[in-house]
Chain A
Amino acid sequence: MSASAVLLQFLNGLAGASSLFLLASGLSLIFGVTRVVNFAHGSLYMLGMYLAVFLAPRIGFWPALPVTALALAFVGAAAELVVLRRLRHAPELLQLLATFALVLLARDFALWTWGPEDMLGPRPPGLSGAFEVGNGRFPEYDAFLCLLGPSVFVALTLVLRRTRWGVLVRAATEDREMTGALGVNERWLFTGVFAVGAALAGLGGATAIPREPASLGVDLAAIADAFVVVVVGGLGSIPGAFLAALVVGEVKAFCIALGLERLVLGVEFIVMAIVLVGRPWGLLGRPPARAVPRRMDDAGFALDGRERLLASVAAALLLLAPLVASEYSMVLLTEIAVLALFAASLHLLLGPGGMVSFGHAAYFGIGAYAAGILLLKEGWPAWAALAAAPAASFAAAMIAGALCARLSDVYLAMLTLALAQIAWSIAYQWDSLTGGSNGLIGLWPKGALADVHAYYSAALALAGGAILFIWRAVGSPFGFALRASRDSQARAETVGIDVRATQWIAFSAAGLFAGLAGGLYAFSKGSISPESLDVTRSVDGLVMVLLGGVQSLLGPPVGAALLTWLQDMLAREVPYWRAAIGATVLALVLLLPQGVAGLVGRRPQ
């Protein structure tokens, strides 16, 4: 590479970093103060893009930027007031679920309002040309972006350092409980922070439109990038987000420059994984002030008489179903059984373990691929390939668990996400083994299991047996040790529990059961592709567990059944089915914060 090429790629990286910073700083701010992992941040960015494209021809490109930011501030404040404020005292994870529902609603709203066509913004008036730099050209607008990012950074820093509001924000970021105890009105602080964060996302989206068309898939791509930057920088740290944006932007630009562009698919997650393993709180983040011993209500972790009866009746009905059910009901029930096991395995981490995983699909997918590859390429019989699925996932989860078990809370969630995305990008690109983006087809079990009724019975027996085993484990001494480790590390260690080892075993076991579910899934579909381990499936798993109720044993399977049935039915009956699912999830979150299983089980006090 010539010197001028290096300079140009450096500038490209800088322009990319500036955009990333605008997107990520708002997320970091919101998280720092409210501890809400705002999945909808990417949707705010997307709405900013659409709105700016819509406004630019009407009021001009430059005026459209602040107007869009202002409009998005109102959207953010409204989301906080209408939805999140009601969930202030619910478990933190429910807020995550609520923001996920907002993602689905925002996407169908954009489709309904602006139609399906991608819309590229205008060239920015006055900055439509390019500078000569070395042997190449660098767009004037990109130079503007290179300046905008640092300017916003400086402005944010001044606001946070020099204004009363900024002091309160920093205080709340450092210690939310203490800030509240000192008489600061948290409610308006939260709403204000949401408005500012959303405005930054909107500004980020609006300034992106000359370089990138507004399109419906932008939301998820943006949220993944934003997570990486926020976590690498350190949650709640604005300078950290700036530094991380710079690192990610430059790494990506130089991957492309050096002809390593295939790495781009996973490189930001590799950066994130390295940082989290080396510096568990990000580059400039600080460890949380203190770990308050938690008291979770675990009453739901033992089935009471009513739940026992309900579960037995359900099991009996499911076992007898093949005698009467139609072929399609068998297909649907097989999928529900498989996903119920997936949800139950995630629940082992989430509920008794207190470990949030954003990447549980990795183990589902690794199991599915292991089974598929052994059946197809090694000619293993289906039962042997199926037995290998949990073994492969167990091995992968042991490695991942060793890296993850030392982290806590959101950092753990993000490392699981990073590892899952790395696994995904490998599955997506290793053509000779995994079939690349197309995946593998022709994975049908032969002989007795080829019939859908027989396969259902086998899947039900395996998944049901595994779920019962997980339930037993939760109530065993190991389960109590796990719950103790979750509630207070110090106290658990005092009574002789090896916290790290306990959590590691739980993580590996959860991976094992997810792998079994993945193997069953592969053979029920006859094919397997990278979508089986991407982040959407991980999120689906979270939605199932939370919808069903995280503080109960019945919850996750019930949530799996409910979500699968909803998706199947709504996708058939409703044109805007994503929005319909989002609205349903939102309604359930607001009306039944204990999950659907809370309806039948004892209500936790």
Chain B
Amino acid sequence: MRFCLYLVLTLSAASLQAQTIKLGELNSYKVFPAFLEPYKKGMELALEEINAKGGAGGHKLELVIRDDGGTPGDAVRVAEELIAREKVDLLMGTFASNVGLAVANLANQRKVVFLASEPLTDKLVWEDGNPYTFRLRPSTYMQVAMLIPEAAKLRKKRWALVYPNYEYGQSAAASFKKLLARAQPDVEFVAEQATPLNKIDAGAVTQALADAKPDAIFSALFAVDLQKFVREGNTRRLFAGRPVFNLLAGEPEYLDPLKDETPEGWWVTGYPWKEIDTPAHRRFRDAYRKRWNDYPRAGSVVGYTAVYSAAGAIAKAGGAGADRLIAALKGLQVDMPFATIAYRALDHQSTMGAYIGRLAKKDGQGTMVDWRYVDGASVQPPDAEVRALRKE
């Protein structure tokens, strides 16, 4: 009898060992292909590495990848499909904030863990945070906070702001104003341009900013809007003698298309993939180049780290199951190409940081100089503030 029980236990343990764990990934691959194709490559590289080493805690991992159509409504349907039909053990992905929030909302309702890899909105882990949702990338607030010390050091009095007119841009501008005014009480914000996403009228905006005669400029523009703004600003000499701070502009996805327009001296957050020479990053970069015959972008690092985070949680939990995964993710440490990061138990935000530095031109290409890594843990508001926001 005892032997039988023993046999049953070993067998079930063995079958548990062999069990494949499914990660359900959904993203707007056809709406933001410039960011998400490298992201997908990063994920696949991580998956191959993990499974080659025997999986996560003995479990083989499988990625089920879906296009979420780029709208919250479609994304919710796709997530339902992953949960109900594919029976995935964990949801991950999403890019735009509204999609990320809608999927987080569904994850909470269906009681499935959701690892939001890309969306930046602060609300995802604060005002609208829920027990099932974790986030990898540094949030809008964190990216702004990384630049504040450098901005405050300049003691510039008159600042102008330009940002895309949607949640990311608005909260970036609001955080920037709040944090800079705290660091430098005499600061004045003399102009503010909230421009339609992807449709900036760069000439008129550049002129309107110049008319306000600012001493310095803060921008949260990216992609198409950034390219238009940089070219107009260069032609009209908006940036001459004016320091500019621009979120995200150092990420290869947004920096590379600027080529010889790259505005030198701008302070940015980003990812100087060529220059970072830590052993962890070198290993990642070499593996990525070998696998894809291409250089890594910021998205590659995010995709790669997201899969390693999921694998880490599964290994720590000893399997799937929402409650076990949540317990495992809280405080989970993950070795990623930049540093060792942890998922905060407090608000489920990872401490992944970003590089800040200044833009420069090298051989007609944009690059970052004077850069340094800023740890995500060092740019958080006090815990009490976070708890109040999460209404816990």
A contact set with B: CB distance below 8 Å: 1-2, 5, 8-9, 12-13, 15-16, 108, 111, 115-120, 123, 128-130, 136-139, 142, 210-213, 215-217, 221, 252-253, 256-257, 259, 261-262, 264-265, 326-328, 331-332, 335, 428-429, 431, 436-439, 441-442, 444, 521, 525-532, 536, 567-568, 571-572, 577-578
Which of A431, A442, A528 is packed against the most chain B CB atoms within 10 Å?
A442
Contact partner of B227 among A213, A438, A529, CB < 8 A? Answer: A213
Instruction: State whether A212 touches B78 (Cβ < 8 A).
Output: no
Is B72's CB under 8 angstroms from A118's CB? no
- Counting chain B CB atoms within 10 Å of each CB, the highest count among A211, A437, A438 belongs to A438
Given known A137-B237, A256-B204, A439-B102, contact A116–B210 (CB-CB < 8 A): no
B66 contacts A439, CB within 8 Å?
no
| Contacting residues, chain B, for A331 (C-beta < 8 A) | 77, 80-81, 84
CB-CB nearest in chain B for A576: B30
Q: Which of A128, A138, A428, A526 lies in contact with B105, CB distance below 8 A?
A: A526
Say which size band chain B's interface belongs to: 35 or more
On whether the beta carbons of A438 and B207 are closer than 8 Å, the reply is no
Q: Would you call B84 and A15 a contact (CB within 8 A)?
A: no
Q: Check B201–A525 contact: CB distance below 8 A.
A: no
The docked-state distance in angstroms from the alpha carbon of A441 to that of B123 is 11
A16 and B109 form a contact (CB under 8 A):
no
Cross-interface CB contact of B205 among A120, A256, A532, cutoff 8 Å = A256
Instruction: Choose one: B30, B34, B121, B227; the contact of A120 (CB below 8 Å).
Output: B227
In the complex, the 7 A-B pairs of residues with the closest C-beta atoms, listed nearest first: A116-B33, A437-B166, A327-B84, A328-B84, A441-B105, A256-B204, A527-B102
Pick from B101, B192, B207: contact of A136, CB below 8 A. Answer: B207
Stretch at the interface among B228-236, B319-327, B349-357: B228-236
Contact of A262 among B102, B165, B223 (CB under 8 A): B165
Are B123 and A438 within 8 A (Cβ)? yes
Known: A117-B256, A123-B231, A431-B170. 10 other contacts (CB 8 A): A118-B34, A211-B203, A256-B208, A327-B85, A328-B85, A441-B101, A442-B105, A526-B106, A528-B72, A568-B77
Residues of chain B within 8 A (CB-CB) of A5 are 207, 211
Closest chain A residue, CB of each to CB of B66? A572
Q: Using Cβ atoms and an 8 Å threshold, which residues of chain A touch B192?
A: 259
Interface contact B98-A439, CB-CB below 8 Å: yes
Q: List 7 A-B contacts (CB under 8 A).
A: A108-B30, A116-B37, A137-B237, A213-B257, A438-B121, A529-B98, A572-B66
| Interface check B187, CB cutoff 8 A | no
Residues of B within 8 A of A429 (CB): 165
A436 to B74, CA, bound (A): 19
- In the complex, the number of residue pairs spanning A and B with C-beta atoms less than 8 Å apart equals 199
Contact B204 A13 (CB under 8 A): yes
Q: Contact at A436–B30, with CB atoms within 8 Å?
A: no
The answer to whether B76 and A2 have CB atoms under 8 Å apart is: no
B201→A436 contact, CB < 8 A: no
Asked if residues B102 and A265 are in contact (CB atoms below 8 Å), the reply is: no
Q: Which chain B residues lie closer than 8 Å to A431 at the CB level?
A: 170
CA distance A602 to B285 in the complex (A): 64
Contacts of A326 in B (CB 8 A): 84-85
A269 to B359, CA, bound (A): 39
Contact B228 A571, beta carbon cutoff 8 Å: no
| Interface contact A328-B30, CB-CB below 8 Å | no
Main SS class of interface, B: helix
CA distance A526 to B109 in the complex (A): 9
Does B264 sit at the interface, judged by CB under 8 A? no
B11 contacts the other chain (CB 8 A): no
A142-B203, A331-B77 known; A261-B85 Cβ under 8 A: no
Establish whether residues B257 and A252, one from each chain, have CB atoms under 8 Å apart when the complex forms.
Answer: no
Q: Mark B187-198, 1 if CB is under 8 A from A, else 0.
A: 000011111101
B167 at the interface (CB under 8 A from A): yes
Say whether B232 contacts A139, CB under 8 Å: yes
Interface of A, secondary structure class, is helix
Residue of B nearest to A258 (CB): B208
Tell me whether A527 and B105 are in contact (CB under 8 A).
yes
A141, closest chain B residue (CB): B235
B297 CB → nearest A CB, Å: 10
Distance in angstroms between the alpha carbons of A437 and B258 in the assembled complex: 28
Cβ of B205: which chain A residues have Cβ within 8 Å of it? 256, 261
Does B54 interact with chain A (Cβ within 8 Å)? no
- Tell me the bound Cα distance from A458 to B84 in angstroms: 20
Q: Cβ of A16 and Cβ of B98 under 8 Å apart?
A: no
User: In the complex, which residues of chain B have a beta carbon less than 8 angstroms from the beta carbon of A2?
Assistant: 211
| Shortest distance from the beta carbon of B195 to any chain A beta carbon, whole Å | 6
State whether the Cβ of B224 lies closer than 8 Å to any Cβ in chain A.
Answer: yes
In the complex, which residues of chain A have a beta carbon less than 8 angstroms from the beta carbon of B223?
A: 118, 215
Q: Does B58 contact A (CB under 8 A)?
A: no
- The answer to whether B228 touches A211 (Cβ under 8 A) is yes
Return chain B residues, CB-CB under 8 Å to A568. 77, 81
| Distance A16 CA – B261 CA, assembled complex (angstroms) | 22
B71 interfacial by beta-carbon distance below 8 Å:
yes
Q: In whole angstroms, how far apart are the Cα atoms of A129 and B231 in the complex?
A: 11
Cross-chain contact A12 with B204 (CB below 8 angstroms): yes
Give the residues in chain A near B101, CB-CB below 8 Å. 438-439, 441, 527
Is there an interface contact between B73 and A253, defined as CB atoms closer than 8 Å? no
Pair B76/A9 contact, Cβ less than 8 Å: no
User: Residues of A contacting B62 with CB < 8 Å?
Assistant: none
Cβ 8 A contact of A211, one of B105, B166, B231: B231
CB distance from B59 to the nearest CB of A (A): 24
Q: Report the separation of the CA atoms of residues A8 and B81 in the bound assembly, to the nearest whole angstrom.
A: 54
Residues on B with C-beta less than 8 A from A428 are 166
Instruction: Assess the A259–B208 pair: CB atoms within 8 A.
Output: yes
A132 to chain B, nearest CB (A): 10
Q: Which of A117, A136, A265, A526 contacts B34 (CB 8 A)?
A: A117
How close is A278's CB to chain B, nearest CB, in angstroms? 26
Q: Flag whether B199 is at the interface (Cβ < 8 A).
A: yes
